[in-house]
Amino acid sequence: MNNERVVVTGLGALTPIGKNVAEFWQGLLKGKNGIVRISRFDPSEFGSQIAGEIKDFDPLERLERKEVKRLDPFAQYALYAAVEAVEDSGLLQYDGLDKHRVGVIVSSGIGGIDTLEREMQKMFQKGPSRVSPFLVPMMIPDIAAGHVAIKYGFKGPNFCVVSACASSAHAIGEAMKMIQRGDADVVVVGGAEAPIIKTALAGFSSARALSTRNDEPEKASRPFDAERDGFVMGEGAGIVVIESLSHALKRDARIYAELKGYGATADAYHITAPDPSGEGARRSMQIAIEDAGLTIDDIDYINAHGTSTKLNDKTETLAIKQVFGDRAYKIPISSTKSMVGHLLGAAGAVEFIVSVLSVINDTVHKTRNYEHPDPECDLDYVPDGPRKVTVRNALSNSFGFGGHNASLIVGKFEG
């Protein structure tokens, strides 16, 4: 590993409250609700009937018709956000760009499950001969990274990290290390998810992981609140462009922030439940802080995993207390999922973008629907926001089924 610093130079987002980064950020600051009754199909037979849907999405606003035709929605979302991030970075205007040194890592927790469900229905109803020859290349989670590379001719390392709801946070961390190893100068990295289909809804409902507050969808995602009853599925994508500082300076790029630290651990405890001791989440945060060369006193904001489930929220709170001690009570903590729902494999990247914006703007958004204090969740979750606060460094947490933990630290860039 070298001592190369890594900076963020491009941002792209597609979420239930904004179809670009600016809309998304303004939605967060306004406390906008993105949770609604599902409209894609009749959800009446399901225990949970609500989700964070993207409304009025037209991929042709940024993509070509021939691209869209053979893309599962998750890959459409990924490519749509990638176009924004790449254009935002100004990367293609740099005449000295070596595309062999540009990597792409785009993650997804469950990939093209919409395509899989549709083609399985064809097979069982009409026979195997009716299954599309594009089933596999539309379904596999790594195809989004492939499409981004094909669109731009980026020929550096290209793959997909899959670790459930920690997927895109792991992707960003691994991209950072890739640059520090000298394997790439630039990485287009993030995650995308399009899980709002019957099969996924049925699976999560059967696992009793989802909120059933169907009569009040706008109040269903309520991280850290005593009356939380499960998470709400969301959809969308978050893509960022990160690069070595030397490369960014060489091309006179606008630098948003510096990606400083990354921690990754496993609970090795249970397939879905977090370790109640908080040990895995605690070590993930501690490793990220150490990797960044910082101390607990340098962290001014935490974008929590904050799923709105009984187990996650109290365990994450406990882990934060273990890491920060008394300082835990002085750090503003918010959950983006309170407004957009849980974007599964895309959540980490979308929330990393929020952390970058918080650093840039010295502003943190509220945790929507935090109304009833929980004795086990007694930190500052910013119930009344947005809040102006100097954010030198932000910590973003992502945890996934299987006991996967990832923490990222982004801070102000100082040349």
Tell me the catalytic residues: 165, 305, 342
pTM: 0.98
What's the pLDDT score for residue 385? 87
Residues 6+ apart with CB under 8 A from 13: 20, 21, 24, 81, 84, 236, 237, 238, 239, 350, 353
Residue 125's pLDDT is what?
Answer: 97
User: Which 8-state DSSP code applies to residue 406?
Assistant: E
What would the mean pLDDT of 59-83 be, rounded to a whole number? 96
Percent of the chain scoring above 90 in pLDDT: 98
- Give residue 120's pLDDT band: very low, low, confident or very high (50, 70, 90): very high
User: What's the pLDDT band for 78 if we cut at 50, 70, 90?
Assistant: very high
What tens digit of pLDDT does each residue of 270-298 get? Answer: 999 999 999 999 999 999 999 999 999 99
Please work out, in degrees rounded to the nearest 5, the angle formed at the alpha carbon of residue 76 by the alpha carbons of 191 and 131.
110
The encoded tokens of residue 217 equal 């969808």
Does residue 137 have a cis peptide bond before it, meaning omega lies within 30 degrees of 0?
no
Say if CB 14 and CB 350 are below 8 A apart: no
For 166-189, write each residue's pLDDT tens digit. 999 999 999 999 999 999 999 999
In this predicted structure, the answer to whether residue 301 has a pLDDT above a threshold of 90 is: yes
Quick one: pLDDT at residue 159? 98
| pLDDT recorded at residue 43 | 98
Tokens of 148: 């981004």
- In sequence order, the β-bridge partners of residue 106 are 190
User: In this structure, how many other beta carbons lie within 10 angstroms of the beta carbon of residue 125?
Assistant: 8
Nearest to 368 by CA among 2, 1, 80, 16: 16
Q: What is the mean pLDDT of the chain?
A: 97
Task: Read off the pLDDT of each residue in 112-127 and give the average, rounded to a whole number.
Answer: 97
Residue 46 pLDDT exceeds 80: yes
302-355 pLDDT tens trace: 999 999 999 999 999 999 999 999 999 999 999 999 999 999 999 999 999 999
Query: How far is 285 from 34, CA to CA, in rounded Å?
Result: 29
Q: What pairs with residue 284 in β-bridges?
A: none
- Quick one: average pLDDT of 16-23? 98
Pairing of strands 393-400, 404-411: antiparallel
Say whether 350 sits in a helix, a strand or coil: helix
* pLDDT at residue 25 tops 80: yes
Mean pLDDT within 128-144: 97
For residue 1, pLDDT over 70 is answered with no
Of 272, 344, 337, nearest to 110 by C-alpha is: 344
pLDDT higher than 70, residue 57: yes
Q: What is the pLDDT of residue 44?
A: 97
